[in-house]
Amino acid sequence: MSFLPKELKVTLVIPTFNKSSRLKLMLSSLTQVNNIKHTEIIIVNDGSSDNTTELLECFRNKENLELTVINAQNKGRSAARNLGLGVAQGDIIIFTDDDLLLEPAFIDEHKKMHSYCQNFLVHGCIYNLPFLKFFSDPATGEMVDGSNKKEGLTKYLVTPGIVLDKDKSIQSQKRLTAFERDIHDLLNKTNRDEDNFVRWVSCTGGNISIRKDLLEAVGGFDESFGTNWGCEDLELGYRLWLEGVQFEFCSNAVNYHMSHYRDDSAEAHRKAFEHFSGKYKDEKIVLLLEYFEGKIPTLLDWRNRVLIGEK
């Protein structure tokens, strides 16, 4: 086993597109992250048309966050993440998104995992805040349909003050999605060496970290996914697996997804998956789509189906 130097430089890469109300909350959580002053923070503004640019300037000036901001044309998350990767100075790259709140120990826990070995992608723990999907702005309570906040949902509001005070309301509403729960089970109940052929599915872009040189060796994210939603992170995990990278879970590297409404998610995800599957013609990817469509109950069941097919 080979080891990295004890003192690792870390870069946090965050793509953002037209989610300023959630980005504001994410940045508020970022101000409370341990050792944030020693972390390079790169925000890639992927062609936002809302007030994202002004918001980022506000946090740089008033909150004294040292942000490197890259303004780009809207080409999708793969291109945005690759832009961040291209200028990153860190040994370790951590990816998160503009709609995720970070725990104070988030960066420390990712960094700790990479102090042991060079050849890992680390998947942290993503909790979902499901009730926020009803709000276009989780802080004010403005609803997705433009109406005023509704009684019964106000207890789920997340303001900058709640984020900074680590309010219990976040803890009380957090949930694991079925996919995230299945990832936990897959990583905790399978063998790193024998089951790495399926563990790559833990490469989900909202909470992962990996050595920069490993990413560069495989060419980063595949930009041919364009602005289509979904699968660009899974496809990266698949390529990393082909190059022998291993996949680990870190339960202490926690963030919280501020769920949001989109009416095209199922169709967009399917199109992206068809692109992914078409690239490799691998039966395990075809079966993975069956899992996402509910035809295979869990990722462990998917693993078992893959094993049967390979015998």
Domain boundaries, the chain: 10-263
- Per residue of the chain (311 residues), what is the pLDDT tens digit? 344 445 889 999 999 999 999 999 999 999 999 989 999 999 999 999 999 999 999 998 777 788 999 999 999 999 999 999 999 999 999 999 999 999 999 999 999 999 888 899 999 999 999 999 999 999 988 888 777 666 778 888 898 888 877 667 788 889 999 999 999 999 999 998 899 999 999 999 899 999 999 999 999 999 999 887 789 999 999 999 999 999 999 999 999 999 987 776 778 788 899 999 999 989 999 999 999 999 999 999 999 999 987 64
Gap between the Cα atoms of 295 and 272, Å rounded: 19
Residue with tokens 């490197």: 68
- 94 in helix, strand or coil? strand
Is residue 81 helix, strand or coil? helix
Q: Where are the alpha helices (DSSP H) in 118-211?
A: 160-165, 168-173, 178-189, 196-199
- Determine the residue type at 33: V
Phi (first) and psi of residue 18, to 5 degrees = 50, 45
Architecture label for domain 10-263 = Alpha-Beta Complex (3.90)
Quote the tokens at residue 255.
Answer: 């963030």
For residue 282, how far is the Cα from the chain centroid?
A: 25
Sheet holding 10-16, edge to edge: 67-72, 40-46, 10-16, 92-95, 208-211, 120-129, 246-258, 100-102
Tokens of 196: 């790495």
Q: What share of the chain is helix, strand, coil (3-state, %, to 5)?
A: 45, 20, 35
β-strands 10-16, 92-95: how paired?
parallel
**Where would I find the beta strands (DSSP E) of the chain?**
10-16, 40-46, 67-72, 92-95, 100-102, 120-129, 208-211, 246-258
